[in-house]
Amino acid sequence: MQDALHFTELHRLELRNAFSLAVFRKQITAAIAQTAWSNLEADMQSGVLVVSAVLWPDVFRKAEQLAELHTPVSGSRSLDT
């Protein structure tokens, strides 16, 4: 699919945790969280999201460089970098 979005295992973890955290905070119900996850899985099955392998050591090295440059100004956390 030409307009597919790349999706990594980190995205998967972050979304799974975000849905569960929203349930914990009573922002959504468990049923809504399950529906959201099912929709995500359907997007992966249909090719809207493409699971992509990532060379994490390269990503972390680049993120460290970006953090050194930008965090003193932006105040971002490491995973936001």
Convert the pLDDT of each residue in 26-46 to its tens digit: 999 999 999 999 999 999 999
**Banded pLDDT at 81 (limits 50, 70, 90):** confident
What is the SS3 string spanning the chain? Answer: CCCCEEECHHHHHHHHHHHHHHHHCCCCCHHHHHHHHHHHHHHHHHCCEEECCCCHHHHHHHHHHHHHHHHHHHCCCHHHC
What does pTM read for this prediction? 0.77
